[in-house]
Chains A and B, each alone.
Chain A
Amino acid sequence: AQTVTQSQPEMSVQEAETVTLSCTYDTSESDYYLFWYKQPPSRQMILVIRQEAYKQQNATENRFSVNFQKAAKSFSLKISDSQLGDAAMYFCAYRTPGGANSKLTFGKGITLSVRP
């Protein structure tokens, strides 16, 4: 079974600084997808970024980028120029390429606080 591990329960960053959130996963599959979701206090789950395992290039979305290390099974999220609105819980998630018929497996999440 696939597992996703987020070992840091909490992190803090100064506004405008950069922070990296760690995630590792375990799978025997060679093709899969990885995601970061943000959960603000409203508790909505918001997609931040997606990475396809077959792509060597790391995904980026504005201030958010990932460091995908397939051999190490590591998938970290870097947030640049942190803003107060980035304060939230962040979940790393894994999915096999079963198309629409493939569930997400989540890590326990990390709570990010942003200091003004």
Chain B
Amino acid sequence: EPEVTQTPSHQVTQMGQEVILRCVPISNHLYFYWYRQILGQKVEFLVSFYNNEISEKSEIFDDQFSVERPDGSNFTLKIRSTKLEDSAMYFCASPVGPSDTQYFGPGTRLTVL
């Protein structure tokens, strides 16, 4: 299976602090996605990113969130001022192959205290 990597695996932060989650999608891919999964709930789409621009975003992806491609291979999801309800697993995913099947990274577990 194609490899997508994410760091850190677990991040603990205080409410109101900024966090940056990192993803390295499958090499040379221009598209990637961020999804969120609150514990025990379904996986929800946050944002898709193509060629250095946001392609689509959900209503969850408000002004507290931003995505960037700081160095050409890594992608970041930034939450400016975390809230308790931001506690969740955050996944990035890369589409691969003729069906553009999305392969997921291992996720970052974010805990906001």
Contact with B along A74-114 (1 / 0, CB 8 A): 00000000000000000101010001111111111100000
Q: In the complex, A45→B41 CA distance in Å? A: 14
| Residue B89, interface by CB 8 Å | yes
Count of chain A residues near B, Cβ 8 A: 25
From the candidates B29, B33, B42, name the one contacting A106 in the complex (CB within 8 A).
Answer: B42
A11 sits at the interface (CB 8 A): no
Task: Say which size band chain B's interface belongs to.
Answer: 20 to 34
B100 an interface residue at 8 Å Cβ cutoff? yes
Evaluate contact between A44 and B100: CB separation under 8 angstroms. no
Given the contacts A43-B89, A43-B109, A44-B107, A101 and B50 also touching, CB distance less than 8 Å: yes
User: Interface of chain B, helix or strand or loop or mixed?
Assistant: strand
Q: Known: A91-B43, A106-B42, A106-B43. Is A47-B101 also a contact (CB below 8 A)?
A: yes
Chain B residues with Cβ under 8 A from A101's Cβ? 31, 48, 50, 55-56
Chain B contacts of A100 at CB under 8 A? 29-31, 50, 95, 100
Name the residue in B31, B89, B95 with the highest tally of chain A Cβ atoms < 10 Å from its Cβ: B95
- Cα distance A48–B95 in the bound complex, in angstroms: 15
Q: Is A68 on the interface with B (CB-CB < 8 A)?
A: no
Q: Nearest-CB distance from B72 to chain A (Å)?
A: 18
A-B CB contact pairs (8 Å), 12 listed: A42-B106, A43-B109, A44-B106, A45-B43, A47-B1, A50-B99, A93-B43, A100-B50, A100-B100, A101-B50, A105-B45, A109-B42
By a beta-carbon cutoff of 8 Å, the part of chain A in contact with chain B is: 33, 35, 37, 42-47, 50, 52, 91, 93, 95, 99-109
List chain B positions with a Cβ less than 8 A from chain A.
1, 29-31, 33, 35, 37, 41-45, 48, 50, 55-56, 89, 91, 93, 95, 99-104, 106-107, 109
